[in-house]
């Protein structure tokens, strides 16, 4: 909701609250609850993330009445518009699964290596592509609701250009500095220089 009012700072900070609550839960409760403290932390973190944003919604003209109407034309329209997104996200998950299946045919530890590498790769993707998409989404939604095709094209083009301009150097940087980055992030304990 805050993003739709072009307020991006608070929603961007809310995952910090989520992570802090999870860490606090694990540190504070793991002695008594064991692994259950992690599940409880995720539940509390989600609630904390929601509650953290509520004060910033004050003064906004909002009214919400939970009604489930599957026969409403808007519901059908949402499902129709979501279908391509669901398909695309499904393809991403299938690609991840295929990568892991291929990694299983390689020497031991290959799946772990793939997972570690993916975590590093997701940082620029989330930081740049995710941030740009979040900022542009309200403008794209507004243009779509007004039927302003020209503005839609302009915003999509702007988003694609910005993502390319930021991701290409980030990718080149990750490739050029791959060993120092892996060493800095992972090399400790059982993850020795040979693993790097």
Average pLDDT value for residue range 60-87: 81
pLDDT number for residue 196: 65
| Residue 51 banded pLDDT, cuts 50, 70, 90 | very high
The secondary structure of the chain as a DSSP string is -TGGGT--HHHHHHHHHHHHHHHHHHHHHHHHHTTHHHHHHHHHHHHHHHHHHGGGGTTS---------TTSHHHHHHHHHHHHHHHHHHHHHHHHHHHHHHHHTSSTTHHHHHHHHHHHHHHHIIIIIIHHHHHHHHHHHHHHHHT-HHHHHHHHHHHHHHHHHHHHHHHHHHHHTHHHHHHHHH-BTTB-TTT-
pLDDT number for residue 50: 92
| Residue 122 banded pLDDT, cuts 50, 70, 90 | confident
pLDDT over 80 at 190, yes or no: no
Per-residue model confidence as pLDDT tens digits over 15-26:
889 989 999 999
Per-residue model confidence as pLDDT tens digits over 161-180:
998 998 899 989 989 998 88
Partners of residue 97 on adjacent β-strands: none
pLDDT over 80 at 195, yes or no: no
| Residue 142 banded pLDDT, cuts 50, 70, 90 | confident
Average pLDDT value for residue range 45-58: 90
CB 9 within 8 A of CB 64: no
Average pLDDT value for residue range 115-131: 83
Per-residue model confidence as pLDDT tens digits over 32-42:
999 899 999 99
HEC per residue, 80-102? HHHHHHHHHHHHHHHHHHHHHHH
| Residue 191 banded pLDDT, cuts 50, 70, 90 | confident
Minimum mean pLDDT range among 54-68, 88-102, 145-159: 54-68
CB atoms near residue 30 (< 10 Å):
14
pLDDT number for residue 41: 92
């Amino acid at each position: 909701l805050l993003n739709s009012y072009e307020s991006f700072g608070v929603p961007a900070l809310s995952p910090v609250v989520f992570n802090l609550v999870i860490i606090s839960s694990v540190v504070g409760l793991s002695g008594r609850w064991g692994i259950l403290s992690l599940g409880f932390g995720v539940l509390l973190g989600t609630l904390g993330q929601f509650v953290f944003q509520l004060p910033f919604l004050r003064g906004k003209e909002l009214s919400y009445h939970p009604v489930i109407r599957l026969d409403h034309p808007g519901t059908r329209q949402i499902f129709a518009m979501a279908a391509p997104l669901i398909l695309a996200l499904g393809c991403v998950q299938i690609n991840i699964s295929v990568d892991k299946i291929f990694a299983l045919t390689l020497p031991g530890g290959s799946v772990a290596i793939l997972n570690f590498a993916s975590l590093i790769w997701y940082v620029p993707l989330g930081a740049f592509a995710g941030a740009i998409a979040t900022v542009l989404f309200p403008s794209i939604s507004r243009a779509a609701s007004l039927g302003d095709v020209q503005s839609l094209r302009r915003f999509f083009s702007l988003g694609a250009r910005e993502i390319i301009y930021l991701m290409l150097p980030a990718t080149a940087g990750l490739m050029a500095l791959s060993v120092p980055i892996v060493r800095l992030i992972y090399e400790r304990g059982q993850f020795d220089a040979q693993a790097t």
